[in-house]
Structure 1
């Protein structure tokens, strides 16, 4: 029996071929999967989502302590401040993690999120730099992080410092979301209106300005008091009415009055008033200036410990002892694994080359706030010294390359290799030292390419016969000296003393000009009535005792000031003026003030008239008028202009030869009868009037023989000393 099958059709053949093809492809894919191993992956996440090394390092630090302070800012934020930040963080009411790092640039925004993911804990994450709070974010907790950060940025000045900034941040967070956001909006609006907060600290230039102002005040103010007081006393005679000196106790002797007539009637306390006030002012300025300008520091940074200042150098040296390339784990990653591998290969080849040696590369930031004050050469020397202490390194000679991951600068320092140290220090190509435009735009500053180019440059560098070393760098200022202000009484304080003297003299000139203008205006509006013909004509023929007393005080005071301030009178005129003034002072016992004081001692009218005549004659002598005669009709009219036979009595026709002033001389010719009405009479007993030359007391009849004769009569009648 034969088994016959029908022949296959074309459709069946096509399906069979398709199945065979699919089976072959499947077998091929399975074989490929079996022969090619899978790529190695880090545990926990695919390679594309692997957390960066910086975030992983910082997460490990926060796992150990929720407050991590970098060792790269000891001059501004020492690591010893960690307990202070921790105490503030407890007040937020939520788990708080604090990172204090150098300013990271654009990477600040993503760093907190990466650290949170790596740490795996919820809470309030705060990032601070050398200025204050830079970023803040809340993960899994309710906290107004952004509102608190905004408030801190707008309410505090730039120099408030990280600790004070974090303290305000914590206070705002503790207020709750609603109040925190309202406060942030208010702070933002206030800042937009131009109300920026004032700086909290001053710098050296501000301290120099304070010292300069203190010096000016210390000499300018007391000297101004002395000079102005002296000038005002001298300027009193410019005014129409001279100030009356105060009363003195006792009698003024001629010798004392001649030395200084004004001083003879001025009490001692008035003479010492201006010097005492100036001395008290100087002492007050010297004592209060340090209280007003009480700043002693340039910033809020506390004094770091010795451990704070050496922590980073020790960390870097420890890393170099294990690997010649040290990449700062706290900074953004700028070198990938391939670049690091190539650097290690090139460093190894350079060490085996002719004249080569070890190369140590540090990729760490350099800032004014670090232990070296931003000096790369000083940092390299400190790392070498620390590395030399490690076992097996000896003097740790080699080429030290300092690369900054934040600004991208590269510096090279040779210690003990046969290379031209100065050439490496000063002649390094700019494309290596600073980079080009591409390096400026790149986040990693193309440090990998530039370090590779540096190794090529080292390979081609000429060798020297003997090892050379870069010179020892200058030591950086200590943090205490750097943060201290100069003393107030130093720097520009001494020039300020000189400027204060000049300012006092200029102010004296201003006061002199103002007083001169005022005196001129007053003289124009109120003529000096004591020396004008108008006064002589207006002089009463029947003056009251009060009028005589007031006029005597004014005339005697004016004569005293004129004698005290006269410098250009001849000796004969000065002697004559003093003789007449001494006689007038004898008549009142030197009590000028008592003449115009209602409660002063009583002086008879004849004596008062003699004082007026003698005082006026004293001033006339200083002005060059040596006329010895005054008007015999009325001595108040002033000096005589001539002599004439006149009849001054209504009884009889007897005439007398009398000295007459110009007005009375004219009246003697035109209207002789008027002279009898003009004749001066003085108050007598029981309200009567007596002719002045017949009054009892002072022999006024001596005026007929002249004013000097009256002065002689006064001295003759004076009691013996």
Structure 2
């Protein structure tokens, strides 16, 4: 039998039967009433002997006579609990009225009857399986003994009954949420204990196999409700906002794009290139093939093509009208989404309380106060039935002796009971002692001793105050010393020191504490904050920010997709020969002749003019390409560069090359430092040694070809000497032939226009216009 196995494993200080136990308990009570010092710890295995409080006298004071039906403070915890179970098979501690009020006793009793066997229920804040065995020995009755903790955890021992009690308790402790409440936990245990034993054992084995099993909570907290309100604020703004943005996008009529107006044409004649007609407003008039000299362009400001505000960019048509039907549907969907969030919130977040809805009465809150006041009035010492005995019989007798000696000077009242945030005072020892003082009507020093946590509380009540409370605080006796690893709370020694402080207290002349005005804290409402409150406002603000970010991201994605589609459509629609293929830098010669420069300038400028004639008005880089072509034409002059200076021809080649790069997606704010004819300086910074060969500054940049050549030649190596670096730089450095053809000059010293390329393409364009007297 299960009962025999459990009872055989329990330790007892002496062998005895159940009738012998009852006889020993009766004898012990008689000895205590006679004032003897017989140790009661032998009758209770849980009462371990500890150091006795020294009193300075060997004659113990006789115990006061307890109230009828009340056990003396010397009685062990198991005997006190057994006495309570004799009155009622369900005992609920009065220590946690805000979590497990005594008004739940009928519910526990009704559930206990469903087991079909004698069931004894103890609802205690702190106890273990040993307590059940001791209570069974004291009570002397077989049955199902159940211990329910403050969090609802079930501990059970079966004596003389064959039920799967232990397995059922373990299953329930794993399956029922800990915050469901002790009564719900006990109801679930009764349901489980009535099932077949094999079925319960199989369910327990399945739980042990599932190592990741986690019991969900039954209730949410106020913090969870705040998070829900924050989420509702986001949903109320983001969901309707996205629908509105999408509907506005879909309501725009297609085919309403702007149609560029035709622009005046312009013919560019460069060298022997065929006449090419370009569209550009307010530029040179359209001409045919060149037949003779043309008048010099006047020095007037010419409008720049492709820039905002100029006539070269055609005005677009009015925005396309919206689809009224789509717009109305969008507005209706937006309003419906907002209303849907509001109406769905109570169904998605239905919970309204954060713990079991308990009906705690005033009698529940004052139950322990009433018990303590009655015990202090009859005995002078209150020993909580649900708390273990912190002192042995000898130590308690010594404490009684000292209290009797102090009674003439200052009455001392002792309360051995625990404190917790869920008790009637919410863990405030001063409030608890004041309430007890109001019930007893007796002045004196009230001392609370927490047998579980070792906490001591002291309050003095009387017409004249003494310095006992100040001495108590100075002695640092409120909390046990945790500096050592020992778990000994040293309650006898600390209590003895407290009594020493009471004995040494001196009047201060101030009015004492009367305990008036120390009301118990009000019961906390367990209702959660309503929906659409607390963090709902911040949720709206965050939702607006999030909506803005999402709309911007969506607009950017749509714009990028449209740009890609337009580019692909334009490439597919363009004639195969309309745009010459883009090539890399073709002018790599570091020492070109005048004939080469003139040929390159005419060819590159003509190619750029053809490209500009075929690209779209809004094509990227078109405005920069027009600037480059315009500056190159000014340098070449009306004769196509036949009489131009060689340095101007080189500048024209660099400008035409930069314009082509701008159309092909390679804008060139800077040109290659070694040879501006190479184009964009997008190969990175110039080598660190450029300054040593007078090609600085450090901010200079070169093209990819030059950068690769310097690296492959070894000039970038730390061991390379200055002569090798200078030779490598001279090999790639552009030298422009002199006008007389007898020599050459480094490009950054040649002429008036070309050196401006050191400061970038914009400076080169500006210098070219200034040289032609064009503002």
Answer yes or no: same fold by TM over 0.5: yes
Aligned residue in 1 for 2:321: 262
Please tell me whether the aligned partners of residues 201 and 295 of structure 1 are also in contact (alpha carbons under 8 angstroms). yes
Aligned residue in 1 for 2:103: 80
What's the secondary structure of 1:347's corresponding residue? helix
Which of 75, 78, 81 is the aligned partner of 1:58? 81
- Distance across 2 between alignment mates of 1:519 and 1:341: 95
Question: Cα–Cα, structure 1 residues 516 and 439, in superposed 2: closer, same or farther, change >3 Å?
Answer: closer
Give the number of the structure whose residues are more often helix, by fraction: 1
What corresponds to 2:138 in structure 1? 118
Counterpart in the other structure of 1:203: 221
Larger Rg: 1
The structure-2 alpha-carbon separation of the partners of 1:452 and 1:438, relative to structure 1 and needing over 3 Å to count, comes to farther
Deviation at 1:137, TM superposition (A): 0.7
Question: 1:217 offset after TM fit, Å?
Answer: 1.0
The verdict on how the C-alpha distance between 1:146 and 1:437 changes in structure 2, with shifts beyond 3 A counting, is farther
Shift of 1:301: 5.0
Q: Give the equivalent residue in structure 2 for 1:140.
A: 160
Q: Are 1:457 and 2:501 an aligned pair?
A: yes
- The counterpart of 2:570, out of the listed 527, 550, 556, is 527
Where does structure 2 lack aligned partners over 5 or more consecutive residues?
A: 1-25, 32-37, 45-74, 260-316, 579-616, 618-775
Provide the C-alpha distance between the structure 2 equivalents of 1:127 and 1:461, rounded to a whole number of angstroms.
Answer: 44
Aligned partner (choices 28, 32, 38) of residue 42 of structure 1: 28
Map 1:84-99 to 2 at 5 A: 84-99=107-122
For 1:194, the equivalent position in structure 2 comes to: 212
Native 8 Å contact 1:231 1:512 kept in 2: no
Q: CA deviation at 1:127?
A: 0.5
Asked if the contact 1:239–1:522 (Cα under 8 Å) also holds between the matched residues in 2, the reply is no
2:376 is aligned, of 289, 298, 320, to: 320
Scaled by the length of structure 1, the TM-score of the pair is 0.58
Deviation, structure 1 residue 400 = 2.1
1:50-449 to 2 correspondence within 5 Å? 50-51=43-44, 53-104=76-127, 108-190=128-210, 193-231=211-249, 233=251, 262-263=321-322, 266-267=323-324, 269-353=325-409, 357-387=410-440, 393=441, 396-416=442-462, 417-420=464-467, 423=470, 427-431=473-477, 433-435=479-481, 441-442=487-488, 445-449=489-493
Q: Do the aligned partners of 1:147 and 1:184 also contact (CA within 8 Å) in 2? A: yes
- Distance in 2, Cα, partners of 1:369 & 1:63: 27
C-alpha spacing 1:122/1:260, structure 2 compared with 1 (3 Å): same
**What is the TM-score of this pair, normalised by structure 2?**
0.55
Query: In structure 2, what is the Cα distance between the partners aligned to 1:224 and 1:261?
Result: 22
State the alpha-carbon separation in 2 of the partners of residues 41 and 318 from structure 1: 25
Contact between 1:239 and 1:519, CA under 8 Å: does it hold in 2? no
Q: Deviations over 1:274-331 (max 9, x none)?
A: 2221111111111211221122222225121221111111111111122332121221
Residues 144, 177 of structure 1: 8 Å contact kept: yes
**Shift of the alpha carbon at 1:477?**
5.1
When residues 240 and 334 of structure 1 are mapped into structure 2, their CA distance, relative to the original with a 3 A threshold, is: farther
* Range with bigger deviation, 228-237 or 124-133: 228-237
CA distance in 1: counterparts of 2:379 and 2:28, whole angstroms: 23
Aligned residues: 460
Q: How big is the shift at 1:457?
A: 1.9
State the 1:522 CA deviation: 1.4
Q: Would you say the 8 A contact 1:207–1:486 is kept in 2?
A: yes
CA distance in 2, matches of 1:476, 1:260: 73
Runs of 4+ aligned structure 1 residues displaced above 4 Å come to: 43-49, 231-241, 258-261, 436-440, 470-477, 532-535
Partners of 1:79 and 1:494 lie apart in 2 by: 41
Instruction: Report what 2:545 is aligned to.
Output: 502
Counterpart Cα distance in 2 of 1:205 and 1:43: 53
Cα separation, partners in 2 of 1:234 and 1:382, compared to 1, 3 Å: farther
Q: Which moved more, 1:294-303 or 1:126-135?
A: 294-303
> Over residues 401-453 of structure 1, what are the superposed CA-to-partner deviations in whole Å (9 max), with x where a residue is unaligned?
1211111111212333422476267x3433553245679523xx332221111
How far apart, CA to CA, are the structure 2 residues paired with 1:431 and 1:48?
A: 26
- Cα distance in structure 2, aligned partners of 1:453 and 1:470: 25
Query: Distance between the aligned counterparts of 1:111 and 1:56, measured in 2?
Result: 10
**Partner Cα distance (1:185, 1:275) in 2:** 58
Q: CA deviation at 1:240?
A: 11
Q: Deviations over 1:453-506 (max 9, x none)?
A: 11112233443112333998886653342x232222222111111111111111
Correspondence 1:588-667 to 2 at 5 A: none
Query: C-alpha deviations, 1:635-680, integer Å up to 9, x for none?
Result: xxxxxxxxxxxxxxxxxxxxxxxxxxxxxxxxxxxxxxxxxxxxxx
1:139 positional shift: 0.4
CA distance in structure 2 between the aligned counterparts of 1:288 and 1:495, rounded to whole angstroms: 20
Distance 2:115 2:199 in 1: 14
Gaps of 5+ in 1: 1-39, 242-257, 388-392, 538-619, 621-721
Q: Does the aligned pair in 1 maintain the 2:146–2:156 contact within 8 Å?
A: yes
Give the 3-state SS of the residue equivalent to 1:399 in structure 2.
strand
Rounded Cα–Cα distance in structure 1 between residues aligned with 2:255 and 2:366: 76
CA gap of 1:422–1:525, structure 2 versus 1, over 3 A, is farther
Q: Distance in 2 between matches of 1:380 and 1:123?
A: 38
Deviations 1:693-717 (A, max 9, x none): xxxxxxxxxxxxxxxxxxxxxxxxx
Quote the Cα distance in structure 1 between the aligned partners of 2:446 and 2:353: 35
CA distance in structure 1 between the partners assigned to 2:456 and 2:41 by the alignment: 31
Q: What is the Cα deviation at residue 86 of structure 1?
A: 1.7
